[in-house]
């Protein structure tokens, strides 16, 4: 069959618009829109057959008039994007299956192999029109916004892509969880106990960081991805803990990192502090969360009994560089699998006395449980400080002073153990 024979056969199904006719041959020639291609085919057919030229009529048996309404759809997209800051966009279209079947039936009946699907023409044509009106460009890989046209329902949905910000936080006050916890009584529904907030604690590091940023970027919310986490009763000091804040659905995308950092630090009023470092990208979140950074802790240890400095030094040096066998601590055994892990004490030092306590600094491999390293956890952790001195000992205060930056670490590709929660 020649192309014109195919045109005859297509039009035998009923009249269609130039865009739909041209689309059957969409992959045969470039540099034309389907509408131009369809009209040209009608002209060529009239000349070849010595017939008068008949333009397409109003009714299209393929798209039902969809391609006559491109400008209207483009208007709707432009309206839907008002008030949203974006430099790049992408259009996606949900074509009702019954509509798509109209052309798919003809493709298979006539074995047409150069046709373009309705959906891709729609995406491209709307993209061109929106681009012409707004000056923004289509980006197939990382668009700032995705606009979804639902043809059946006549609706336009805008999905604003999240933004990612890399930074480090210090938690200067104890008793603040890293992320928000649902109220234990009502499980987040809101009750008298939680003052109808649904929260166990009024604030979290996540909320203290997110609140001013969500407000500044007019976003739907934000999630904190930390490189591990400290216990609620531990401070995070020193250079801070690396994190990536994922900001959902921002209507503003210009990141003034310094201004955001100031806003967070002012509103947190010394409870936490952040250094916002730079914009980040989604793939970095996984790297950050699966990192195996070493951590340094400063702890205050209470010992039941009198102990000389020499006894402390000798018990600590017996742990230095040693691999510790730790069974899942009894304090978390109810929510974690019971396993035995080997983790190394990279360094451990005696800093002196503080009141009745002993001040110690520990540099541990990721996943080392610090409280149990001291107490021995009833023999579940061995060796331990308590075992070394032959007296009961426990951590009464714990601060994280250093979390290595996972994005600056070399990834050796070995075990990608999840460091979702620091051991501590």
Within 299-318, which residues bind Zn ion (CB under 5 A)? none
Active-site choice (18, 144, 231, 422)? 231
Least distance from C-beta 182 to Zn ion, angstroms? 8
Cβ proximity to Zn ion: between 17 and 90 the closer is: 17
Cβ proximity to Zn ion: between 193 and 278 the closer is: 193
Cβ proximity to Zn ion: between 125 and 206 the closer is: 125
Cβ proximity to Zn ion: between 59 and 304 the closer is: 59
Which stretch, 14-22, 38-46, 294-302, 407-415, contacts Zn ion (CB under 5 A)? 14-22
Least distance from C-beta 247 to Zn ion, angstroms? 27
Of the candidates 10, 41, 56, 60, which one interacts with Zn ion according to CB under 5 A?
60
Of the candidates 7, 10, 56, 62, which one interacts with Zn ion according to CB under 5 A?
62
Least distance from C-beta 118 to Zn ion, angstroms? 8
Least distance from C-beta 115 to Zn ion, angstroms? 13
Nearest-angstrom CA–CA distance, 374 and 113: 72
Q: Is 20 in the site for Zn ion (CB under 5 A)?
A: yes
Q: Site map for Zn ion, 365-394, x if CB under 5 A?
A: ------------------------------
Q: What's phi and psi for 341, nearest 5 deg?
A: -120, 150
SS3 string, the chain, reads CCHHHHHHHHHCCCCCCHHHHHHCCCCCCCCCCHHHHHHHHHHHHHHHCCCCCCCCCCCCCCCCCHHHCHHHHHHHHHHHCCCCCCCEEEEEEECCHHHHHHHHHHHHHHCCCCCCCHHHHHHHHHHHHHHHHHCCEECCCCCCEEEEEECCCCEEEEEECCEEEEEEEEECCCCCCCCCCECCCCCCCCCCCCCCCCECCCCCHHHHHHHHHHHHCCCCEEEEEECCCCCCCCEEEEEEEEEEEEEECCCCCCCCHHHHHHHHHHHHCCCEEEEEEEEECCHHHHHHHCCCCCEEEEEEEEECCCCCHHHHHHHHHCCCCCEEEEECCCCCCCCCCCCEEEEEEEEEEEEEEECCEEEEEEEECCCCCHHHHHHCHHHCEECCHHHHHCCCEEEEEEEEEEECCHHHCCCCCCCCCCCCCCCC
Which stretch, 67-75, 97-105, 228-236, 308-316, contacts Zn ion (CB under 5 A)? 67-75
Residues listed for the chain: 424
Least distance from C-beta 102 to Zn ion, angstroms? 9
Among 409, 380, 404, 374, smallest CA distance to 392 is for 374
Least distance from C-beta 192 to Zn ion, angstroms? 7
Among 139, 106, 95, 89, smallest CA distance to 11 is for 106
Cβ proximity to Zn ion: between 185 and 267 the closer is: 185
With CB under 5 A, what is the number of residues at the site for Zn ion?
Answer: 12
Which stretch, 10-18, 226-234, 254-262, 385-393, contacts Zn ion (CB under 5 A)? 10-18
CA diameter of the chain:
113
Of the candidates 183, 244, 348, 373, which one interacts with Zn ion according to CB under 5 A?
183
The token duo for 183 is 């109220």
| Cis amide prior to 134 (ω within 30 degrees) | no
Least distance from C-beta 333 to Zn ion, angstroms? 26
Which stretch, 142-150, 183-191, 315-323, 343-351, contacts Zn ion (CB under 5 A)? 183-191
- Is residue 231 among the annotated active site residues? yes
Of the candidates 7, 17, 213, 214, which one interacts with Zn ion according to CB under 5 A?
17
Which stretch, 19-27, 154-162, 220-228, 244-252, contacts Zn ion (CB under 5 A)? 19-27
Nearest-angstrom CA–CA distance, 126 and 132: 10
Least distance from C-beta 196 to Zn ion, angstroms? 7
Among 308, 306, 297, smallest CA distance to 374 is for 297
Cβ proximity to Zn ion: between 118 and 345 the closer is: 118
Within 184-203, which residues bind Zn ion (CB under 5 A)? 185-186, 191, 193-194
Which stretch, 17-25, 32-40, 261-269, 290-298, contacts Zn ion (CB under 5 A)? 17-25
Give the interface with Zn ion as residue ranges (CB under 5 A).
Answer: 17, 20, 60, 62-63, 67, 183, 185-186, 191, 193-194
Q: Which residues have a catalytic role annotated?
A: 231
């Amino acid at each position: 069959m020649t192309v014109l024979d195919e045109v005859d056969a297509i039009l035998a199904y009923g009249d269609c618009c130039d865009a739909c006719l041209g689309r059957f041959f969409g992959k045969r020639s470039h540099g034309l829109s389907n509408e131009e291609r369809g009209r040209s085919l009608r002209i060529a057919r009239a000349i070849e057959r010595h017939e008068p030229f008949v333009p397409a009529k109003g009714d299209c048996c393929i798209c039902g008039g969809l391609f006559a309404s491109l400008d209207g759809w483009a208007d709707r997209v432009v309206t839907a994007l008002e008030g949203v800051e974006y430099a790049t966009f992408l259009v996606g279209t949900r074509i009702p299956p019954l509509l798509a079947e109209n052309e798919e039936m003809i493709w298979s009946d006539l074995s047409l192999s150069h046709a373009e699907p309705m959906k891709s023409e729609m995406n491209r044509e709307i993209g061109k029109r929106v681009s012409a009106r707004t000056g923004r460009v289509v980006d197939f890989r990382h668009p700032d916004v995705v606009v979804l046209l639902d043809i059946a329902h006549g609706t336009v949905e805008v999905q604003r892509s999240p933004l990612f910000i890399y930074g480090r936080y210090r938690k200067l006050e104890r008793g603040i969880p890293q992320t928000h916890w649902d109220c234990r009584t009502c499980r987040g529904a809101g009750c008298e106990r939680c003052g109808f907030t649904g929260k166990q604690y009024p604030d979290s590091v996540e909320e203290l960081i997110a609140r001013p940023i969500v407000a500044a970027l007019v976003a739907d919310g934000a999630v904190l991805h930390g490189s591990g986490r400290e216990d609620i009763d531990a401070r995070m000091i020193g250079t801070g803990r690396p994190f990536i804040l994922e900001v959902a659905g921002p209507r503003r995308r210009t990141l003034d990192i310094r201004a955001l950092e100031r806003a967070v630090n002012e509103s947190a009023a010394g409870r936490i502090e952040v250094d916002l470092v730079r914009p980040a990208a989604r793939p970095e979140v996984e790297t950050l969360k699966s990192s195996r950074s070493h951590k340094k802790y400063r702890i205050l240890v209470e010992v039941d009994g009198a102990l000389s400095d020499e006894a402390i030094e000798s018990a600590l040096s017996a742990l230095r560089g040693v691999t510790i066998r730790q069974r899942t601590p009894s304090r978390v055994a109810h929510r974690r699998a019971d396993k035995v892990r080997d983790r190394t004490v990279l360094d451990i030092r005696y800093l002196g006395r503080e009141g009745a306590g002993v001040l110690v600094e520990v540099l541990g491999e990721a996943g080392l449980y610090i409280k149990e390293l001291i107490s021995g956890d009833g023999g579940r952790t061995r060796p331990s400080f308590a075992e070394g001195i032959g007296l009961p000992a426990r951590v009464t205060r714990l601060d994280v002073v250093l979390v290595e930056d996972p994005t600056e670490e070399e990834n050796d590709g070995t075990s990608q153990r999840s460091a979702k929660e620091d051991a501590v």
